[in-house]
Amino acid sequence: MTNFTRRGFLAGASASAGALVGASAGALIAGQQVASAAEVAAQTAVLKRSEKFHGSHQNGIELELQTFTNFVSLEIHADTDRSAMQRWMKLLTDDIERLTAGEPILADAQPQLALGPARLTVTVGFGPSLFKKLGLEAQQPESLSELPAFKVDALREEFSGGDVLLHVSADDPIVLSHAVRSLISDSLAFASVRWTQQGFSNAQGVVPSGVRQRNLMGQVDGTDNPQFGTDDFKNLVWIDEGPEWIRGGTILVLRRIAMQLNTWDKLGRTDKEQVIGRRLDNGAPLGQKNETDPLDLNAVDERGLKVIPNFAHVRRASPTNPKERFFRRPFNYEVGTAADGTPDVGLLWTAYQKNPAEQYIPVQKRLDDFDLLSKWTSPIGSSVWGIAHGVKKGNVLADDLF
C-alpha cells in the first residue's frame, strides 16, 4: 500500500496546479484572480523600462518626456571646496548608477521604495555662481552666464538661481520621490536645498511616442524641435568646444512661466488661435493643415489681413536666422488653487542649446518687445545651468571640472 503523506500530496498538487496556471490566463487563490506571468509583465512594463546612465551625454535630455519630474537647486556650503566637490560627485555618480537601474543606494533608508527603474534619469548641472565660489572662472564656458533682465520678468528668488542642479525624472511618482530624497540626503553634507520645482507631462500610454504633449493652456507644446539622433539636434544642443568638462554637454535655460488661466479661459477659440498663431486642435500654423507645415508669415486672408497676426507668439518666436533654435523639453506644473478658484499653474520651460547668447536670448528679446501671449503668461523663475558631458563606466561625474 502506497504511503501518501500530506507533504507529498501538496507537492504533487502544486506541480499540477502550476502546469494549469501556466496554460491559462490566471488562477484563483483564496477566491482572487491571480494574473499570469504575461499579464504581470504587461502591467509592470512602465516600471521595468530603463534609460542607460553611461554614455557621451548625460541622460534626461535626448529622450521622450517622462511623466513626472523634479528640478532641485542646491547652494554649496561655505566650506565645500574642490576636494569636497569631487567626493560629492563620486557619491552622486554611484547613487545615480544604482537608481537608474532600479536599485537602492548604499545605506538606503527606504530600499523597498526602489521599485524599479521606471525610466528614471538624473541630469546634473552647474550654475554660474559655482565657478566664482570655487575659483574656477577659467573653467567657466563663455556661453554659461546669467540671463539679462527682461521686461516681462516677475522673477522670485524661491524659483531662481543656484550652484548645482539635480534634474530627476521618472514615469512613477514613488520611484521619483525616493530617488530625489536619496540624492538630497547624500548631498546635505556639501550643500543645502535652495528650491525644488515639480512638474508633469502626459502619463505613459496616453499619447503615442513622438507626439507632443499639450500645456495647460491647451496648446501643443514643442513643435519644430530638432529630432533625436539627427545632425540638427547635435549641432544645436551638444557643445564641442571650450573646457573639457562641458564638451558633450549643453547649456540649460530653465524658466518657470506662470499662466493666468482664469482670463485665458474666457477667450474664444479664434482669439486663442490668433494670440498663439496656431490651431488649437492639432497645432498647425494658421492657414495650414498639419502641425509640421511651415509657417507662412506673409500669407493674407481675403480681407488683406495677415493670417498670422503681428502680435502672434509664433511670429515673434520665429527664428530670424538658422542659429535661433534650441531643444525644448517642458513640463507642466500645478501646485494648488486659491480661495477664489485661481489655479497656480504654468510651465517649467526648458531650452537646451550650445550658446544662449546666439540661440535663446535673441528670440526672448523679440518676445519681450511685443508678444500678446505675455498678457496671460509671466516668467516667475529663471536659472541657467552648464550640463556636464556624460559619464563612462568607471568614471565620475564632472571629474575633469573639479
Given the DSSP bridges, would you call strands 377-387 and 343-353 parallel, antiparallel or unpaired? unpaired
Task: From 387, 356, 383, select the one nearest 158 (Cα to Cα).
Answer: 383
Torsion of CA 284, 288, 289, 293, to 10 degrees: -70
Calpha distance 388→165 (Å, rounded): 11
Q: For helices 82-100 and 173-185, what crossing angle results, to 10°?
A: 160
Element (H, E) at 241: none
Calpha distance 188→76 (Å, rounded): 9
Q: Count the Cβ atoms, other than its own, within 10 Å of residue 252.
A: 25
3 state DSSP class of 54: strand
Q: Are 128 and 145 in contact (CB under 8 A)?
A: yes
221 is catalytic: yes
Calpha distance 5→299 (Å, rounded): 88
Calpha distance 11→18 (Å, rounded): 11
Q: Are 229 and 102 in contact (CB under 8 A)?
A: no
Q: Are 222 and 330 in contact (CB under 8 A)?
A: yes
Phi/psi at 173 (nearest 5 deg)?
-70, -30
Considering 95, 108, 153, 221, which one is annotated as catalytic?
221
Task: From 249, 239, 271, select the one nearest 354 (Cα to Cα).
Answer: 239
So which residues are the catalytic ones? 221
